[in-house]
Amino acid sequence: MESTQKVVLVTGASSGIGEATALRLAAEGHAVVAGARRRERLAALAQRHDNISVRRLDVTDRDDVAAFVDSAVAEFGRVDVLVNNAGLMPLSRLDALLVDEWDRMIDVNVRGLLHGIAAVLPVFQRQGSGHLVTVASVGAHEVVPTSGVYSATKFAAWAITEGLRLEADPSLRVTTITPGVVESELAESITDPMAREAMREYRRHAISPDAVARAISYAVDQPADVDVNEIIIRPTRQRG
């Protein structure tokens, strides 16, 4: 393996930002292991670049995440970067009482992130190097009607990642990527009619997932003594 090539794990890689990130980093010469729940999407992704290998992954299952990391270490001998991207966004008003959706968001957006950290941090510490990238959201910095629970999970993602940055040895780099409106399938998970219509209008001006992938690439490709802590990336038309 070339010294400039990194072993990069990407969660939520079957579509959107995760898929774009896997493709961009693979094209840049990195060895990418892409994880997601949808096997058929993963199989199609693996066909698009020789540097991409895939594994079915449920980030809500702590053992599954540990196996995802361990299998990469077994194959490549190390893990250099984990991009914690898997996320859900079923927006709704709190009085809609979609409690099952709240629980699922917390499981994926918060517990999934923690499972990734728990699995990869011992590897990074053993290696004396590593890079944890969290894909959060501008929802971490603002709350709008219907985003209460989603914004809470993304603030938690930001807070957890910042906590790791403060606690970690300088050999570990930590980055939060904070996208605004991005073309993705996230809005398809919205079942509440009012929230779904509001999101349709909100997403009229969106940037491509590759715009976010380029930001991730920038952070990953900095030299070891440069830590890009946070990038907020929005469409030029988005002001909030």
Catalytic residue numbers, as ranges:
150
Please give the Cα distance from 90 to 166 (Å, whole number): 31
Residue 91, classed as helix, strand or coil, is coil
**In contact, 29 and 51? CB cutoff 8 Å:** yes
CA neighbor of 192 nearest in space, from 142, 156, 148, 160: 148
Tokens of 74: 């077994």
Q: Quickly tell me which residue has 């002001």 as its tokens.
A: 239
Three-state SS sequence of 182-236? ECCCHHHHCCCHHHHHHHHHHCCCCECHHHHHHHHHHHHCCCCCCCCCEEEECCC
Please give the Cα distance from 218 to 111 (Å, whole number): 27
Please give the Cα distance from 134 to 82 (Å, whole number): 8
